[in-house]
C-alpha cells in the first residue's frame, strides 16, 4: 500500500559577519626640559692665626745668649763698672783730702781692696717662671656666600594619536529556502485519477 507523502526540505538563512578591529596608537614625545644651575658665589676672607713664642729671657737664664745680646750686656757692664770706678776714685780722693778730720783712710782703702766680694747662693728655678712669653692671636675667618636659584625651562609636547576605526560588514552567506516534494499523491476526480 502506497501512502501519499509530502516532503518539506528547508534551509535556514545564514548571515556572514566580517569585523575589522579598530587600532589605536598613542606616542608621547618627551617634554623639552632645560635645567641650568648657576654656581654659588662664595668669598672667604681669612686673617691667619699667629702664635708668638719669645724665649729670649729663658735662654738668657741658662746662659744661651746671642752675640749681640752678650755684646750689649758687656757694654752695659763695662759702662757701669767704669762709672762705679769713677765714683770710687772720687770718694777715695775726697777721703784723702779730708785726712785732717781724723781716721786712717789709707788703711781702710787698702782693706777694702784686699778681700774679694762675697757671692750669695740661693735656690731658684732655671729658667725662671714666666720667662717664656707666649702670645696667640686666633685669627679670623669671614665667609660670604650667595646662592643662585636654578633656571628651569620646560615645554610640554602633545601626544601623537593615530586611530583607525573598526569596521563591521554583514552579508548574506546563505538565503533561506523551502523545497516541497510530493510522493504517491494522487488526485482522484470523477472517473479521473492523476498523479501529482
Task: Write the pLDDT tens digit of every residue in 92-119.
Answer: 888 888 877 777 888 787 777 766 667 6
Q: To 5 degrees, how large is the angle CA 150–CA 153–CA 154?
A: 135
Is 88 a member of any domain?
no
Is 74 a member of any domain?
no
Is 22 a member of any domain?
yes
Is 8 a member of any domain?
yes
What Å distances lie between residue 46 and 5, 136, 140, CA to CA? 126, 16, 6
Q: Residues 35, 154: contact at Cβ < 8 Å?
A: no
> What local confidence, expressed as pLDDT, does residue 3 receive?
75
Q: To 5 degrees, how large is the angle CA 93–CA 96–CA 97?
A: 85
Coarse DSSP helix, strand, coil percentages of the chain, rounded to the nearest 5 percent = 25, 40, 35
The span from the CA of 8 to the CA of 176, in Å, is 13
Model confidence at 80: pLDDT above 90: yes
Domain count, the chain: 1
- How many residues in total does the chain contain? 196
More confident residue, 3 or 18: 18
The span from the CA of 54 to the CA of 73, in Å, is 19
The span from the CA of 196 to the CA of 181, in Å, is 10
> Which tens digits make up the pLDDT trace of 115-151?
666 767 666 677 778 888 899 999 899 999 899 999 9
Model confidence at 1: pLDDT above 70: no
Q: Residues 183, 3: contact at Cβ < 8 Å?
A: no
Give me the mean pLDDT over the 76-83 stretch: 92
> Which tens digits make up the pLDDT trace of 29-65?
999 999 999 999 999 999 999 999 988 888 887 778 8
Is 166 a member of any domain?
yes
> Which tens digits make up the pLDDT trace of 171-188?
998 899 989 887 777 767
pLDDT band at 4 (very low <50, low <70, confident <90, very high): confident
The span from the CA of 160 to the CA of 166, in Å, is 19
> What local confidence, expressed as pLDDT, does residue 144 receive?
92
Grid coordinates of 39: 654656581
Rg (CA), the chain: 70
Model confidence at 79: pLDDT above 90: yes
Least confident of 53-57, 160-164, 178-182, 189-193: 189-193
DSSP secondary structure letter of residue 191: T
Is 137 a member of any domain?
no
- pTM (2 d.p.): 0.35
Strand duo 41-47 + 186-189: pairing: unpaired
Q: Is the dihedral of CA 56, 57, 58, 64 positive or negative?
A: positive
Is 118 a member of any domain?
no
Domain residue limits at 20:
1-31+155-196
Is 144 a member of any domain?
no
Amino acid at each position: 500500500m502506497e501512502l501519499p507523502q509530502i516532503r518539506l526540505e528547508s534551509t535556514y538563512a545564514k548571515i556572514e559577519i566580517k569585523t575589522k578591529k579598530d587600532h589605536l596608537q598613542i606616542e608621547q614625545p618627551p617634554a623639552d626640559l632645560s635645567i641650568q644651575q648657576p654656581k654659588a658665589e662664595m668669598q672667604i676672607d681669612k686673617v691667619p692665626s699667629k702664635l708668638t713664642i719669645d724665649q729670649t729671657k729663658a735662654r738668657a737664664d741658662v746662659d744661651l745668649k746671642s752675640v749681640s745680646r752678650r755684646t750689649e750686656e758687656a757694654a752695659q757692664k763695662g759702662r757701669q763698672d767704669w762709672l762705679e770706678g769713677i765714683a770710687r776714685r772720687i770718694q777715695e780722693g775726697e777721703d784723702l783730702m779730708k785726712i785732717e778730720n781724723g781716721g786712717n783712710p789709707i788703711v781702710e782703702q787698702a782693706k777694702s781692696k784686699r778681700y774679694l766680694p762675697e757671692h750669695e747662693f740661693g735656690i731658684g728655678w732655671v729658667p725662671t717662671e714666666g720667662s717664656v712669653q707666649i702670645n696667640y692671636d686666633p685669627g679670623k675667618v669671614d665667609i660670604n656666600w650667595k646662592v643662585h636659584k636654578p633656571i628651569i625651562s620646560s615645554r610640554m609636547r602633545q601626544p601623537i594619536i593615530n586611530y583607525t576605526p573598526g569596521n563591521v560588514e554583514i552579508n548574506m552567506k546563505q538565503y533561506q529556502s523551502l523545497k516541497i516534494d510530493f510522493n504517491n499523491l494522487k488526485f482522484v476526480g470523477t472517473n479521473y485519477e492523476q498523479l501529482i
